[in-house]
């Protein structure tokens, strides 16, 4: 492993182009229940992925299933995930079929009956053969995509990764060729005969919010909160 601590400045590869074809309809992606909630529009897939911050990677490692939460970023029709190069789940995923999911909770749906309680959500499930990137330019591009997905503008603010740090980082690439999208919105769907019950029914909205940035105790005085965190959080400018 290299001990070079010089920041990387390699040129980035262009992103994979966006596909104009509808989402696949395969036995794995075909919806069997509530088909009306499904979407074959790729723009809906991109919207769900781009709005999320954490994905879950499902993979078989050492003969047993694992579900790994991790951060990610999308560029074109490629989904980039990152983790430790010593992560057994990432190593097992290379060249194998995996499943990646992203889910947003948008509200708790309270019905008049227990049976019709539900949640409003947006979800995406991606299937594909994953590969660990070994190309330095693609790896740098992937990490930049992930960082910029989490906090736009942070890549240029922070120090760039060194070769030693890159060697300790694995980048997994999953194509967006086979995926399904499912979305539920709206009020509860009670049976008409239950509408007369004296039970409140409706939706309790839910959303991810950011608070006021909390400085590192070791932060030197005089360093202001960067603009991108002011935008992300609840910090006054």
Tokens 């104009």 sit at which residue?
A: 20
CB atoms within 10 A of CB 30: 11
Cβ atoms of 48 and 206 within 8 Å: the answer is no
**199 belongs to a structural domain:** no
pLDDT at 223: 93
Calculate Rg over the CA atoms of the chain: 21
The pLDDT confidence band at residue 39, using thresholds 50, 70 and 90, is: low
Mean pLDDT score, 171-196: 94
Mean pLDDT score, 24-33: 66
**62 belongs to a structural domain:** yes
pLDDT at 36: 57
**236 belongs to a structural domain:** no
**216 belongs to a structural domain:** no
pLDDT at 42: 86
**30 belongs to a structural domain:** no
pLDDT at 227: 84
CB under 8 A, 24+ apart: contacts of 19-25: 19/77, 19/176, 19/177, 23/178, 23/179, 23/180, 23/181, 24/177, 24/178, 24/179
Measured CA to CA, the distance from residue 205 to residue 225 in angstroms comes to 30
Helix (H) or strand (E) holding 136: helix 136-150
Total domains in the chain come to 1
Tokens 């979407």 sit at which residue?
A: 39
- CATH code of the domain containing 57: 2.30.110.10
pLDDT at 228: 82
The pLDDT confidence band at residue 12, using thresholds 50, 70 and 90, is: very low
Distance, C-alpha 105 to centroid of its chain:
13
Whether the pLDDT of residue 96 is over 70: the answer is yes
Residue 29 vs residues 1, 22, 127: alpha-carbon distances, Å: 41, 12, 8
The pLDDT confidence band at residue 24, using thresholds 50, 70 and 90, is: low
pLDDT at 198: 96
Residue 140 vs residues 28, 171, 178, 187: alpha-carbon distances, Å: 32, 9, 25, 44
Residue 179 has φ and ψ, to the nearest 5°, of -155, 160
The pLDDT confidence band at residue 3, using thresholds 50, 70 and 90, is: very low
**186 belongs to a structural domain:** yes
Measured CA to CA, the distance from residue 178 to residue 186 in angstroms comes to 27
Where helices occur in 151-192 by DSSP H, the ranges are 154-157, 163-167
* pLDDT one-digit tens code per residue, 61-81: 999 999 999 999 999 999 999
DSSP at 48 = H
Higher pLDDT, 42 or 149: 149
The pLDDT confidence band at residue 231, using thresholds 50, 70 and 90, is: confident
Percent of the chain with pLDDT over 70: 81
Whether the pLDDT of residue 30 is over 70: the answer is no
Give the domain range for residue 51. 35-193
**230 belongs to a structural domain:** no
Mean pLDDT score, 86-95: 91
SS3 helix, strand, coil % of the chain, rounded to 5? 25, 30, 45
Global pTM value: 0.84
pLDDT at 212: 87
The pLDDT confidence band at residue 140, using thresholds 50, 70 and 90, is: very high
**128 belongs to a structural domain:** yes
Lowest mean pLDDT among 52-61, 167-176, 227-236: 227-236
pLDDT at 230: 81
Helix (H) or strand (E) holding 98: strand 97-110
């Amino acid at each position: 492993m290299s001990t070079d601590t010089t920041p990387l400045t390699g040129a980035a590869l262009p992103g994979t182009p966006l596909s104009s074809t509808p989402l696949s309809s395969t036995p794995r992606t075909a919806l069997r229940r509530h088909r009306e909630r499904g979407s074959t529009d790729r723009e809906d897939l991109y919207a769900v992925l781009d709005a999320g911050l954490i994905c879950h990677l499902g993979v078989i490692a050492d003969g047993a299933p694992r579900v790994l939460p991790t951060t990610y970023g999308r560029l074109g029709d490629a989904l980039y995930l990152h983790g430790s190069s010593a992560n057994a789940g990432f190593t097992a995923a290379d060249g194998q079929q995996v499943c990646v999911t992203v889910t947003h909770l948008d509200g708790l749906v309270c019905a008049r009956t227990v049976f019709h309680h539900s949640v409003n959500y947006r979800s995406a499930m991606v299937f594909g053969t994953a590969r660990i990137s070994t190309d330095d330019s693609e790896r740098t591009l992937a990490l930049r995509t992930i960082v910029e997905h989490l906090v736009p503008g942070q890549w240029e603010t922070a120090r760039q990764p060194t070769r030693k740090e890159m060697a300790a980082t694995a980048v997994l690439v999953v194509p967006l060729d086979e995926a399904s999208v499912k979305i539920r919105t709206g009020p509860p769907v009670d049976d008409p005969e239950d509408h007369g019950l004296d039970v409140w029914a409706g939706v309790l909205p839910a959303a991810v919010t950011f608070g006021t940035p909390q400085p590192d105790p070791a932060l030197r005085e005089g360093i202001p909160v960067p603009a991108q965190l002011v935008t992300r959080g609840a910090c006054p400018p």
